[in-house]
Chains A and B, each alone.
Chain A
Amino acid sequence: MLSIGAMANIKHTLQKELFLASGERLLSVVTVVKKKDKKPCYLCVVTTAPPVPVVTLCLIKQSEQREGEYKRKRSWQLDEIKWVDGRNEQFETHEFDLQLEKLYKWYALNPHERQNFLAVLNRQIQKSVRGQRAEFRNVPAAWLSEKSPEKVALGRAVQKTQHMDDEEDEEEEAQEFTALTDKEANELGKLFSECDFAIKDAEQFIEQLSRELHDLDGANMQSVLASEQKVLKMMEHIDNAISEADKFENRLDSYEDILGHVKETMEKIGGKNAMIEIANNNNIKLMKELNKVISQLDLPHSQQQALDEPDLKTANGRKAAIAAAQCLQQAMNSDIDPALLRLEAVQDQRKRFEKWKQKFSATVSRFMNNLFIHLGNEIGDMQVTSTELTLPNHSNVHRELTPYTELMHWTKAMDRKTYDGLMRVYTASLSKIYDRDVRNFFNLAKIQVTEKLRNSREDLDMSTSSRKSAVSTIPYGTLGINRDQWGPGVETADRMRFDALLEKVLAELEPIALQEQLFCINFFQMDVISPTTKNTQTTLEMEKAVDMTQSIISGAVSPSGDGVPQKRIDRQINEDVRKLMMGLFGCLEPELVSFIQSFERVDSFYSLYVFVRLTQHVMSAQDTHSFLSMTFASALVQVKRSFDRFMQNQLLSIREAKLHKRSKAILPYVENFENFAQTAEGIFRKSDRRTDMEKWYLQLVNAIFEGIQLHSQEHPKTPVQVVRMENYHHMYALLAQLKVPGLDALKKEAKKCYNDALKAYVTQYFGRPLEKLNQFFEGVQLKVAQGVKETEISYQMAFSKQELRKVIAQYPAREVKKGLENLYKKVEKHLSEEENLLQVVWHAMQEEFIAQYNYLEERIQKCYAGAMINLEFNIQDILAFFSDIARSH
């Protein structure tokens, strides 16, 4: 097979040898063999030189005689090719057929050449053959596309690119000379057929053509000259048209002028119409306004009468009077333009109003005045016979007055002075009643307190008749003083009764005060601030005065401006209401305080539960600014003070507690604290004021601890450590029972102090039943510390075996037992029955003794090994002693 290089080479050779001379150009060559003989020959596509390239297909054979000589065997025009059959679309196919005058079957040596050839052939056929073109069968469509087949092949044979480049350029050049299109060819053919001679004599033909061209030019010139006349005529017509148009324009201008005049006139008429309309509207408005003023200021005759001679006693008369009064108020407050106020008629009407108002107001004032005083006296005359602890209810007064509420409101709005006067009268006449009620109520309550006290006192005296001092000045429950020196006190049950009594008193006060307050707010319209601002609007002279009062009021309430904040208004209302209530219930606070103090005389613990109970009432009050809440709150402040004072006294009594000769081991304040804490817890357990109590607990317990440390040293017969141990033990048990979270740390401290004291007592007061033995071995220990070997101790004079035996001999079992028994007796005497610590202490002492015994035995074995020295008793003996002591008690 030929290499690609050889192929390029053959193309070059053929071009040089065969086609260069004739000016032809080889476009593509394929080396083929016919089936019959094996000799290769070349199929070439050749083109002649421009300008009219003719493409032919030719078959070249190599000369048999001489190498390198080629001969053109045959040539075909491209349109002679009928069809081309590639046989197979595979690239590797070698065969292909050409149908020319007969069928040629070729075998291409190189498929690349074949591809190139077929593609070039196809392109040339497409380019230059007119009419029937050869058909390509079984050839890949890509080869037949317009795209240069070389480029398609490029991917397959890169190395070929170099050689192909220049050929390509040439080919592009050739493509510029395109064949005539079909139409042009037809035109030409027709022209030629018209002058059939032309082919024969070209010169004649050219001449004829130029002649015809000349004729045509001449005809053209003539027609141009002929059209000039017509143009001139047309110009004339146009001039005429312009002058006509000018005329029209002038006429239109004159029309416009006329129309302008009409418009002006119309506008003037329109303006006049609008003026008439406005005048009309104003008249209507004026009419309306006047109507309004008249209707507003008109007071029907029936109402005038009602105002003149009001019948306030009957419901109907009252109704009519109130209706008339409200009409009057409305008329006087009607919203009339200030300008209209200047009308004489309006002024007159207003003066009349003012007269009515004053007259009616005076009537009302007189009537209400009498009513208040009457009601006050009526109730005042009734005797209070009830012994029940209740505050009388005065809702009947409220009921009687309720129908007059609107009259009061009217008075408030229209005549402030009368209103204020009436309010004073009301307060004066009712405060008398309330004063009496409250005093009675509290007196009764106080009597109940002392009655109960007397009952319990009698019991008390019965049960404690043996007591030497009948009356003691020391308050009951004082922590630092012994119980039997306290003054009289009360039982928990009594305390609960007092608490209930207090609760009842407070609960009784609340509805009465609340009811009265509610009635007053409603009756005196206290929830609306100063509606007087408008009532004088009806007179011109007073207009300024109105402004002044307005500014005064707004100045008083809110100096910042007119927008009075709601809070301020509320506060103002509260203040007013409270003032009124204060007038009505003037004696309530001092009575309440004195009632509370009446407890103080009978029960020193009173401040605790009064504190809790009052707090409850103050906290549960919804309206914290109401009169009653304020009263309770101020009482509460006093109670809190006496609560703190009471606690302070307790604290002092602990600090100043003194021990007597016959004092018990448990210190008085430790003993009393139990009762105290239980009482306090009972009262404070569920209260909001717990924290107040807990603060005091901390102080008190701390003071107690300090006291224990101090007083334990002053105790007449009991050792310090025992006093500490027993008191801390007591305190620990107490605090564990109390379970006050704030005292947890102190509880732990109590436990620690108790344990420390126990340890100290056991070691310090043990009395050392084996005293001399211990001293002996302390000496031994000293020597050892000085460097003497333990095994050589027995050679020391003072610590010889002899000496040891002497000491041991002093402790025969009998003596030891006696010593232990004495110790037990001593401990038993030291410890109090109450704290029950004997077993605990004795347990610790037993352990301590065994530890001592073990220590001594160990020392003897170490220092006197082999000397056969032993104590005169052994562990079994000790245990037996213990058992014997146990049995003998």
Chain B
Amino acid sequence: MSKKPTAGPALHKVIMVGSGGVGKSALTLQFMYDEFVEDYEPTKADSYRKKVVLDGEEVQIDILDTAGQEDYAAIRDNYFRSGEGFLCVFSITDDESFQATQEFREQILRVKNDESIPFLLVGNKCDLNDKRKVPLSECQLRAQQWAVPYVETSAKTRENVDKVFFDLMREIRSRKTEDSKATSGRAKDRCKKRRLKCTLL
């Protein structure tokens, strides 16, 4: 008891991205508080924190729920920078939202400058399968091209909601252990250098 709060558990930072109305906030609220809110209210940006037990280890997850509609994509750069893992969400009932994932993916890769950043492609609203507009094969194909997992969820029925967050946290965790293995200090420097180079280009 009463350990100093500064020596807290590991912290994983997750960013929710995707077009407006695909259910980013719904997924977040379902994961956070086990509740489903029917009314749609566009998000600007919201931050959540929760303690969870990941494979027996207590960790903290920070979730940044972002706005789907943005006048200027560059505004997103800052929070993409802060993220350690991304849930890229689209609605399987909306092809446009699926096409938009391409753009999000590119921006994230550009900002993070890292091809293997922890990333999950999430097809939400799978409870509305009868209104599906994006064929499963197409989703899987895209995930394959990006070499990321594809999961279908329903914020309404809570199907796979925990799964996507936990899967992503596992990826983030394994990434972190990899990084620290690779001679921690220098790896970071190298990263920074590479990043600087790119900006110059």
Contacts and interface: CB of A to CB of B under 8 A. Distances in A.
A837 B33 CA distance: 19
Given A671-B5, A729-B47, A836-B47, 8 more contacts: A736-B32, A843-B67, A844-B45, A847-B75, A879-B72, A884-B199, A885-B78, A886-B81
Contacts of A89: none
Contacts of B44: 840, 843-844, 847
A886 B2 contact: no
17 contacts: A464-B2, A483-B5, A489-B1, A736-B32, A836-B47, A836-B62, A837-B47, A839-B45, A839-B64, A840-B46, A840-B47, A847-B44, A882-B75, A883-B77, A883-B111, A886-B78, A889-B78
B181 interface: no
A756 to B, nearest CB: 14
B33 A886 contact: no
A453 to B, nearest CB: 13
A484 interface: yes
A850 interface: yes
A736 B48 CA distance: 11
Interface string B174-201: 0000000000000000000001000100
Contacts of B74: 879-880, 882-883
A835 B77 contact: no
B80 interface: yes
A839 B2 contact: no
A882 B62 CA distance: 23
Contact of A882 (B34, B46, B50, B78): B78
A148 interface: no
A748 to B, nearest CB: 13
Contacts of B80: 886
B85 to A, nearest CB: 15
Interface residues of A, number: 38
B49 interface: yes
A464 B2 CA distance: 8
Interface string A109-151: 0000000000000000000000000000000000000000000
A202 interface: no
A889 B79 CA distance: 10
Q: Which 8 A-B pairs have the closest CB atoms?
A: A879-B74, A886-B77, A886-B78, A839-B79, A843-B45, A840-B45, A886-B81, A836-B47
A662 to B, nearest CB: 13
Interface of A: 460, 463-464, 483-484, 486, 489-491, 671, 729, 733, 736-737, 739, 834-840, 842-844, 846-847, 850, 875, 879-880, 882-887, 889
Contact of A846 (B2, B47, B78): B78
Interface residues of B, number: 34
B116 to A, nearest CB: 19
Contacts of B48: 733
Contacts of A483: 2, 5
Contacts of B82: 838-839, 889
A733 B2 contact: no
Determine which residue in A490, A737, A838, A887 has the highest number of CB atoms from chain B within 10 A of its CB, and name it: A887
B47 A460 contact: no
A69 B84 CA distance: 151
B192 to A, nearest CB: 10
Nearest to A882: B74
B71 interface: yes
Contacts of A879: 72, 74-75
B120 to A, nearest CB: 20
Contacts of B199: 884, 887
Contacts, number: 92
Contacts of B75: 843, 846-847, 850, 879, 882
Contact of A489 (B2, B45, B77): B2
Counting chain A CB atoms within 10 Å of each CB, the highest count among B13, B32, B35, B82 belongs to B82
A736 B67 CA distance: 21
Contacts of A460: 1-2
A528 B46 CA distance: 73
Nearest to B110: A883
Given A836-B47, A887-B195, A882 B77 contact: yes
A736 B49 CA distance: 12
Nearest to B71: A850
A887 B78 CA distance: 8
A691 B195 CA distance: 58
Nearest to B198: A887
Interface SS of chain A? helix
Nearest to B77: A886
A543 B185 CA distance: 110
A844 B43 CA distance: 12
Nearest to B29: A736
Nearest to A467: B2
Contact of B2 (A484, A840, A850, A889): A484
A742 B81 CA distance: 40
Given A489-B1, A736-B33, A850 B72 contact: yes
A847 B50 CA distance: 28
Contacts of A835: 47, 49
Interface in B53-84: 62, 64, 66-67, 71-72, 74-75, 77-82
B81 A889 contact: yes
A239 B22 CA distance: 141
A757 to B, nearest CB: 14
A486 B80 CA distance: 40
Contacts of B49: 733, 834-836
Given A838-B82, A839-B79, A739 B1 contact: no
Contact of B78 (A729, A733, A842): A842
Contacts of A837: 47
B180 to A, nearest CB: 20
Interface in B61-119: 62, 64, 66-67, 71-72, 74-75, 77-82, 111
Contacts of B81: 886-887, 889
A464 B81 CA distance: 37
A484 B47 CA distance: 27
B111 to A, nearest CB: 7
A671 B2 CA distance: 13
B1 A887 contact: no
A879 to B, nearest CB: 4
B74 to A, nearest CB: 4
B35 to A, nearest CB: 8
A57 to B, nearest CB: 110
B72 A737 contact: no
A93 B40 CA distance: 103
Given A733-B49, A736-B32, A850-B72, A886 B62 contact: no
Contact of B47 (A736, A839, A850, A880): A839
Contacts of B67: 843
A777 B165 CA distance: 48
B1 to A, nearest CB: 5
A32 B50 CA distance: 133
A383 B183 CA distance: 69
Contacts of B4: 484
Nearest to A851: B71
Nearest to B15: A839
Contacts of A834: 49
Contacts of A491: 1
A887 B201 CA distance: 14
A737 B32 contact: yes
A242 B48 CA distance: 140
Contacts of A840: 44-47, 64
Nearest to A837: B47
A847 B76 CA distance: 11
A750 to B, nearest CB: 13
Given A737-B33, A846-B78, A883-B74, A486 B45 contact: no
Contacts of B47: 729, 835-837, 839-840
A372 B66 CA distance: 82
Interface in B122-168: none
Most buried by B among A490, A491, A737, A886: A886
Contacts of A838: 82
